[in-house]
Structure 1
């Protein structure tokens, strides 16, 4: 019986020494005063919430590539503006400028 106690104590001591790469989280105390068991983390273990989410090759290619169809050149597709389009753009800019000028005048008159 004495021999069993000696080997039992020796086994406990050996268990408390972590192996290479293992980690041990110390026991914590519960609100009622009792202790929780220490947590042993094996070498190479990665917690589930730290594991990267798997992405397929297709998803990675879709993410990394440009958003246009291969062989499509948007510069060739762009049409030059017509005279009417240019004139309308100038009118729009003039109207916008006039509105900002009027707003500035009102802000000077009204405190």
Structure 2
């Protein structure tokens, strides 16, 4: 035998089946003032007015079952949903060809950035010798949330210097040199 539901299904009038005794009851509830209403037993066979369904004859019930959805036009069928057909390069406009090239380049960049390096120690040594790390050279073109860029400022996050803003860094260093602490 399966376990009873934690929250039993109730009718419109609030009647539920007690999982322990399998009797129909209105479960106890809390009043707005904090006091608790007692659980009420419902005698067998009683159906409150809220739970009485509207009478439908057999023909009416059959007609409603066969009825078309509201707003449906007789004889109209929605167009079939086919997969997107790839457009040949000859029928593309200049802008479409340009956008297609951009998409391919973006895919290539993400594939390159996802590759795992074989030896991390060698890469770190090379980056330190040049003065910049390899992480600053290869910035993935993924638009992340929470990153501060010129196009998308986020003042809660420190400025993103991965894009090679060496001139901005030098300008900031000059400003810090000019500041005097008294």
Q: Which is greater in Rg?
A: 1
Q: Give the TM-score of the pair, scaled to structure 1.
A: 0.29
